[in-house]
Chain A
């Protein structure tokens, strides 16, 4: 069985400061890990995905995440927050062999203050 835990339900940062959204995972297999973003009244958009090719994954809009097997973590970072980054972020795990039965974290609401 696999699961993800997003350690913060809400994160608030000032515009121009770094963003850190934390995610720990649990999986019996070597997992694939994803970060999705959801803006209000919109569907989910993929930010980035880890597929075991490289532990540091770069995504869209300046986001990146680092896979740390020893810590079972996949934290999402961005050097400088922008107002348009305000949204809900989901850490997602997909175990090998179960291609589309995604397991979502509970989400982290990111607020960006002017």
Chain B
């Protein structure tokens, strides 16, 4: 089974621009979660999508948004980029049940640099 894939792997943008990142979950997985990883704040939960609906949301401003398509692929969008948005963005997929013991499988991440 192919793992979680994320595109692009690296991205360079300038302040004020917007960016869209893509995540394809493991085949059969219906839940996709997004995380931001920075040296200062560590790994922080952004949001989770299941069956095209946002099911959980972390404490991030409205500039961060996402969506999920009927094939479970997910995109996240960041508008009006700030320097502090430079980070590794990780996506994870899981089967979709609400059990907290479900394993999240992570992709390799997209490294976003904002200049």
Give A residues with C-beta under 8 Å from B.
31-32, 34, 36, 41-46, 49, 51, 90, 94-107
User: Residue A49 contacts which of B44, B45, B101 (CB distance < 8 angstroms)?
Assistant: B101
> Which of A32, A45, A101 is within 8 Å of B48, CB to CB?
A101
The chain A residue with its CB closest to the CB of B98 is A99
Q: Inside 8 A of B43's CB, which chain A residues have their CB?
A: 90, 102, 104, 107
**A31→B100 CA distance, assembly (Å):** 8
Query: Is there an interface contact between B99 and A107, defined as CB atoms closer than 8 Å?
Result: no
Chain B residues near A (Cβ < 8 Å):
4, 31, 33, 35, 42-45, 48, 55-56, 58, 90, 92, 94, 97-109
Majority SS at the chain A contact face? loop
In the assembly, what is the distance between CA of A18 and CA of B42, in Å? 27
Residues in chain A near residue B4, CB distance under 8 A: 43
Q: List 27 A-B contacts (CB under 8 A).
A: A31-B100, A32-B100, A43-B107, A44-B90, A46-B103, A46-B104, A46-B105, A49-B101, A49-B103, A51-B101, A90-B43, A98-B56, A99-B31, A99-B97, A99-B98, A99-B100, A100-B56, A100-B92, A100-B102, A101-B45, A101-B48, A101-B56, A102-B43, A102-B45, A102-B104, A104-B43, A107-B42
Across the A-B interface, how many residue pairs have beta carbons closer than 8 Å? Answer: 67
Taking a contact as CB atoms under 8 Å apart, the answer to whether A32 and B90 are in contact is no
Minimum CB–CB distance for A60 against chain B, Å: 12
